[in-house]
Amino acid sequence: MRRELRHLLMSLFIFMAWGLAWFALWTISFYLTHNGQQAALLLPQGVHLAMLILLSRRFWPALILPELLLMSWLLQQQLMNESLMLISPFISLITVIAVRHFWPRYTLYWQRLSLLMAAVTADALLHTLILAPFLQSPATLILLAAFTGGILLTPFAYLIYEYLRQQRLEDLLVLETPNPPLRTSLLIWCSLFFIIGIGTQLVFSPEIARLLLIVVFLPNVVMAYKFGWQGGVLAALLGSMMITIARQIGGGFNNLLEMELFLSTQALLGIGLGIAISRQQHLANNMLRYRQRLEQELHARRSLMEQLVHAEEDARKSLARELHDEIGQNITAIQIQSMLIKRTQDSPPARMAAEQIDQLAQRIHHSTRQLLRQLRPPVLDEMSLEKALYHLVQEFAFDEQGITCRFHYALPGQPASETVVFTLYRLLQELLNNISKHASARQIEITLSHRDNGVCLEVNDDGVGLHAEHRQGFGLQGMSERIQALGGNLQLESRNGTRVIVNLPALF
């Protein structure tokens, strides 16, 4: 019961408020057109169409009834002559029903605005087709009246509706919406243009016709550019008000047709431009948002990788230390004990056993050292990077294979970060490994230089080169990811052999 009462009261409100508003709009249109029928089709029609589309269907009687009542009153007062106009609200209903079918599917503002403009066009055409044969006014005037009224006021009614609907949905707190209608700076600009326009017209009255183009079209374009579709709609409305005021001051338009044509054109321009610019801004904003998200993700990933690299390095370091401490000392102790046995025992089986123990211990020591070396090259703890790398190159024994290897170290010292040092070492190890196994090169050139706050490692060889399929497998992917994690990059060229350039940021 409460709900029914609510709807009844709302219908009553709409009946009263819309009836009076329709009447006021009719009076203003009558002043412009001096014809009762066209007046009903000019301004009232625009708002009427918008309200039928936007409001719920249960309010249709409350919207149509006051119009019928007022039109009958006007007919009785001899201000309107043709009683056929009484079917005009029902003609609009045809367009409205068709549009409401599509309305829920399109929710973006520009789609809805375009749908509204299509509705206005269809409605104007329908009215002309059905009413023109029976009315005294020429068909073009009827068409233009309905079209102009719709173009001017339907988007404006939509703008106000959206604005008020947002007020309803939001709480009494201010929320940031992506496209809040009617910002205050918009209104200040509107007022500014309006005042400038009126001022220009008052001052330059005789040359109104030419000036109107600048005074009306230019603000339209500027407002649409700056504020999107809301600016376009408001500018269209203000422009039309300025035009009608110009007509009042005297001059500018010879007849109604010309004025209505001018009104429609500048409204269409404003709205169309506004929609186009709003769309572009919307798309650009989306792009920016996605790009920011992507950057955030990439950044997160990079820091994660960097943490991984450091964690790995730390794990290896502690493992190496544990191995060295635990096993190394005990192995040495076993060797000493076996030597003691060899010295103190004379029987050959005992000496042989001690010899075996010694050899086995040596083997364990040897393999442990190799493991340790793999885990954490001790050279780096004992020597500087330069010497360690030199040592590494020597280990590969390229001379014996007949390969010339040149090594230039041009860094100003040792990099501060241990991770960088180890990464460089392992990198060179991996690369030289690849070359010696797969490249069949004759000449190798290794250069380490200081460039751009970092290290640049360059390894050239004149071998068979690396094909794309091979890149995955040669441990280069892993190396490249580690390098990227540390903020560097790896470049690979495969002309006339292979050329690998690695840049790694480092402090010294």
Partner 1 sequence: MLDQNEISREYRYWRPRLLLSMIVGYAAFYLTRKSFNFVLPAMQTDLGLDKGDIGLLGTLFYLSYGISKFAAGIWHDRRGDTWFMGVGLLATGILNILFAFGSNLSTLLIIWTLNGFFQGFGWPPCARILTHWYSRNERGFWWGCWNTSINLGGAAVPLLSALMALWFGWQAALFVPGLTGIVIGLWLCRQLRGTPQEQGLPAVGYWRQDPLEIRQLQQSPVMPLWEMFTRTILKNRMIWLLAASYVLVYLIRIALNDWGNIWLAESHGVNLLSANATVMLFELGGLCGALFAGWGSDLLFRGQRAPMILLFALGLFISVAALWLSPVHHYALLAMCFFTTGFFVFGPQMLIGLAAVECSHKQAAGTVTGFLGLFAYLGAALAGWPLSQVITDYGWSGMFVLLTIAAALIGFLLMPLLIAGLSWQDRSHNATETAYNLPQDNSG
Give the DSSP H/E element, type plus range, for residue 408.
strand 404-410
Contact between 249 and 208 (Cβ < 8 Å)? yes
Residues in contact with partner 1 by the rule CB under 8 A: 6, 9-10, 13, 16-17, 20-21, 23-25, 27-28, 30-31, 34, 77, 79, 160, 163-164, 167-168, 172-174, 180, 182-184, 187, 190-191, 289, 292-293, 296
* Rounded least distance, CB 118 to partner 1, Å: 25
List CB contacts of 435: < 8 A, sequence separation 6 or more.
441, 444, 459, 461, 463, 498
* Rounded least distance, CB 91 to partner 1, Å: 24
* Rounded least distance, CB 152 to partner 1, Å: 13
* Rounded least distance, CB 388 to partner 1, Å: 46
- Based on its alpha-carbon atoms, the radius of gyration of the chain, rounded to whole angstroms, reads 43
DSSP annotation string for 345-378? --SHHHHHHHHHHHHHHHHHHHHHHHHHHHHS-H
CB-nearer residue toward partner 1: 12 or 87: 12
Q: Work out the angle at residue 311's Cα, subtended by the Cα atoms of residues 307 and 316, and round it to the nearest 5 degrees.
A: 155
* Rounded least distance, CB 97 to partner 1, Å: 25
Q: Give dist(CA 386, CA 419) in Å, integer.
A: 16
* Rounded least distance, CB 260 to partner 1, Å: 17
CB-nearer residue toward partner 1: 9 or 308: 9
Q: Give dist(CA 44, CA 149) in Å, integer.
A: 7
Q: Would you state the structure tokens that stand for residue 172, as one six-digit string?
A: 């009494």
CB-nearer residue toward partner 1: 45 or 338: 45
CB-nearer residue toward partner 1: 178 or 402: 178
* Rounded least distance, CB 62 to partner 1, Å: 13
CB-nearer residue toward partner 1: 36 or 463: 36
Name which of 71, 66, 117 is nearest 95 in CA terms: 117
* Rounded least distance, CB 9 to partner 1, Å: 6
- Under DSSP, the state recorded for 460 is E
CB-nearer residue toward partner 1: 31 or 102: 31
Q: Would you state the structure tokens that stand for residue 135, as one six-digit string?
A: 């009315």
CB-nearer residue toward partner 1: 7 or 342: 7
CB-nearer residue toward partner 1: 26 or 109: 26
* Rounded least distance, CB 160 to partner 1, Å: 7
User: 463 phi and psi, to 5 degrees?
Assistant: -90, -150
The tally of CA atoms less than 13 A away on the side-chain side of residue 366 is 6
SS3 of 94-137: the string is HHHHHHHHHHHHCCCHHHHHHHHHHHHHHHHHHHHHHHHHHCCC
Q: Give dist(CA 69, CA 485) in Å, integer.
A: 77
* Rounded least distance, CB 177 to partner 1, Å: 11
* Rounded least distance, CB 433 to partner 1, Å: 44
Name which of 154, 127, 182, 113 is nearest 264 in CA terms: 154
CB-nearer residue toward partner 1: 102 or 290: 290
CB-nearer residue toward partner 1: 16 or 84: 16
CB-nearer residue toward partner 1: 255 or 453: 255
Sign for the CA dihedral angle at 249, 253, 256, 261 comes to negative
Q: Would you state the structure tokens that stand for residue 507, as one six-digit string?
A: 């402090």
Q: Give dist(CA 116, CA 178) in Å, integer.
A: 22
- What are the start-end ranges of the E strands in 9-158? none
